[in-house]
Structure 1
């Protein structure tokens, strides 16, 4: 039996053409960008920034980047600081008007966690500790054998940090982030602001961190698109990988006139 696009996508159909009334929310790593061994080593593919800029115009500004990275990283990689965005899994939100809203960090902060973490990465070569000030991530992409150790110490760190934080598992990463916000809450927050308000939400992402947004978008009758082979997922459409996402976006960006679908 020949393999169809749908079977390659794990039984999920590809997304249709971008709709005229879309409010488009895009994850970065693993979705727009191919993963690298270290987060700072990701490469922005040629033409991606231009496609995002064109889509931003075609959608009347209703395009946002939603990432676990801080806003400063999102802007550096996209080169488009004028975009609405959500960083740190929704703990930071920049509205279309450019107003940055940030969830207040828990009073205890992460200092006790940082002290507890000293030396861990040295004992596990290849494990990278990423300090985002209000969040800490343990990446083991270069040391997949360290997964159990990383998950164990992450659970210890959560006990030390207390109830103001939550653990966020992702693709070869475990992150300690502020509790009470996620990508789903960020999407809903932005949908309350023009030009997003009244539009149909689309969320494209690859990781467990995107599932919160998929569920919110589904509840609103929008389009949810998972990138890559991870299953199960709440997403209702699929694209094979970042290359496929970039090709889909380039096609949407190059269509004449307003987005149609």
Structure 2
């Protein structure tokens, strides 16, 4: 059964929001994204209306997101749930293992074998981006799988939109959301999670288990979604209406 998102009482909700592809449009590379001029103000408004029960749950690292949104002090679950940062504290590792040097070297070799592939070195993981050569998608994914195979006892490859993420087995957005739901700020609230990619599915499952609402941006509408938006702009428009048109309960 889906929930009626237009009747949500924000003061009783906890929002978990993916960033790339959900709040902002995906760009040719993570460094080329454009931040909408009203995004930070919108998130501040949502943070205020939920008494702080707002977290960004992203594939980007905590440091990357803090540089991308320097004037926004909200809780961040970075690297698909590998780390959680609370303002004023140091990031908390949720169990991610250090990436072996040999694995990084094997992934680096892929960037030399395929012109246009970029290796992103995150603090707790690695990502191979191949948006510049979409016709080579399957070849690149196969190469990443082969590079990770010797390390398959601890690390896995998770597919994303024109990216292959390498991370510790057992790390995902769902377990990060579950941990945050135990925080006093979030506990007892109705969770609402918005995402756009395969890496968000674990978060959808946890939110559903808590009786919450799931929102998908892009892709095809599905019966198990509470709401589907075609673009990040549509999601931002809905969030804006939530914080400006609904009177507090």
Q: What TM-score results when the alignment is normalised by the length of structure 1?
A: 0.87
After superposition, residues 1-261 of structure 1 pair within 5 angstroms as 15-20=5-10, 21-95=12-86, 98=89, 100-106=91-97, 109-230=99-220, 234-255=224-245, 257-258=247-248
CA contact (8 A) 1:183 1:210 kept: yes
Using a 3 Å threshold, how does the CA distance of structure 1 residues 24 and 80 change in structure 2: closer, same or farther?
farther
**Runs (5+) with no aligned partner, structure 2:** none
CA contact (8 A) 1:95 1:193 kept: no
Offset of residue 151 of structure 1: 1.1
Stretch moving more, 140-149 or 33-42: 140-149
CA RMSD of aligned residues (A): 2.2
What's the secondary structure of 2:66's corresponding residue? helix
Using a 3 Å threshold, how does the CA distance of structure 1 residues 239 and 141 change in structure 2: closer, same or farther?
same
Q: What TM-score results when the alignment is normalised by the length of structure 2?
A: 0.90
CA contact (8 A) 2:194 2:215 kept: yes
CA contact (8 A) 1:86 1:94 kept: yes
Distance 1:202 1:256 in 2: 17
Using a 3 Å threshold, how does the CA distance of structure 1 residues 80 and 182 change in structure 2: closer, same or farther?
farther
CA contact (8 A) 1:96 1:194 kept: no
What's the secondary structure of 2:183's corresponding residue? coil
Using a 3 Å threshold, how does the CA distance of structure 1 residues 104 and 199 change in structure 2: closer, same or farther?
closer
Aligned residues: 247
Offset of residue 62 of structure 1: 0.1
CA contact (8 A) 2:56 2:74 kept: yes
What's the secondary structure of 1:157's corresponding residue? helix
Distance 1:39 1:97 in 2: 26
What's the secondary structure of 1:150's corresponding residue? helix
What does the per-residue CA deviation read over 1:56-78, in whole Å, with 9 as the maximum and x for residues that have no partner?
A: 11110000000010001121223
What's the secondary structure of 1:174's corresponding residue? strand
Using a 3 Å threshold, how does the CA distance of structure 1 residues 154 and 123 change in structure 2: closer, same or farther?
closer
CA contact (8 A) 2:62 2:91 kept: no
Distance 1:14 1:207 in 2: 23
Offset of residue 196 of structure 1: 0.5
